[in-house]
Amino acid sequence: MGETTGIRTAGSEPAPALPLAERRRAALRLEIARTAVRLFSAQGVTGTTGEQIARAVGVSSRTLWRHFPTKESCVRPLLTAGLDAATEQLRDWPAESTLLDHLTDRCRRGTLPAVDPAVLDLIRMTADEPALRAVWLQAHDDALPVIAGLIAVRAGLPPDRLRVKVHANMVNGALRIAAEDFAARCAEGAEASPDALAACLHTALQAVTDGLPY
């Protein structure tokens, strides 16, 4: 997650494309993440080694450890992809739209990443694997300054203001819980579609905007 410089306006220039080396690095990290999830699902986190992940990807163990400090952290690119995309939508949040309407509309329009079965499997695993849970929670913790910065711009307040920090945590928590709830429902046979994800996200954000009823 990078530090924000403000919400984009309609005339803002799109971000420049990443250099080829950066794109290759990101592609390799994503391949490692997908391979790690596949092995974790098949033989458990404890039963999987970093060396096995590297061998399955076709890279050296040294290369794997250059990208990730632990075998569990190998999954981080998959966990952050949806969160980064949701946060990116906040940069295009129009003044005439509420956050609730904006994010759920973007989800329904398909501007968020498509539902990925591997990510759903991974999110479900974070419920029972403490090390994976730590990676998941850290990804959301790292997103907080970005979300707070974007909300601060919208509110016209400093990002370190208590009100802004509380709102950022509420939005961040809603995104996390919506993803966890959606993954759990899909495991029980619910439809894994963009519309179903949008409905789940809408419900979570609605709880935020409604506030505490007690």
Mark which of 74, 92, 118 sits at the end of a domain. Answer: 74
Distance CA 112, CA 11 (A): 21
Same domain, 138 and 82: yes
Q: What is the mean pLDDT of the chain?
A: 88
Residue 85 belongs to domain with CATH number: 1.10.357.10
What is the per-residue pLDDT across 91-135, written as a single tens digit (0 to 9) for each?
Answer: 888 888 888 888 777 777 766 667 889 999 999 999 999 999 999
Task: Tell whether the model's pLDDT for residue 11 goes beyond 80.
Answer: no
Query: Using an 8 Å Cβ cutoff, are 86 and 111 in contact?
Result: no
How many structural domains does the chain have?
2
Same domain, 40 and 108: no
What is the average per-residue pLDDT within 15-29? 83
Q: Residue 195's domain spans which residues?
A: 76-210
Residue 54 makes CB contacts below 8 A (sequence gap 6+) with 32, 60, 61, 63, 64
User: Which tokens in the block code for residue 143?
Assistant: 């997103």
Query: Using an 8 Å Cβ cutoff, are 33 and 114 in contact?
Result: no
Same domain, 133 and 68: no
Same domain, 169 and 181: yes
What is the per-residue pLDDT across 123-165, written as a single tens digit (0 to 9) for each?
Answer: 999 999 999 999 999 999 999 999 999 999 988 999 999 999 9
Residue 30 belongs to domain with CATH number: 1.10.10.60
What is the average per-residue pLDDT within 174-190? 94
Same domain, 185 and 153: yes
In a domain, 9, yes or no: no
Percent pLDDT > 90 in the chain is: 60
Task: Give the torsion through C-alpha atoms of 191, 45, 171, 117, to 10 deg.
Answer: -20
Same domain, 68 and 89: no
Lowest mean pLDDT among 26-35, 42-51, 60-69, 188-197: 188-197
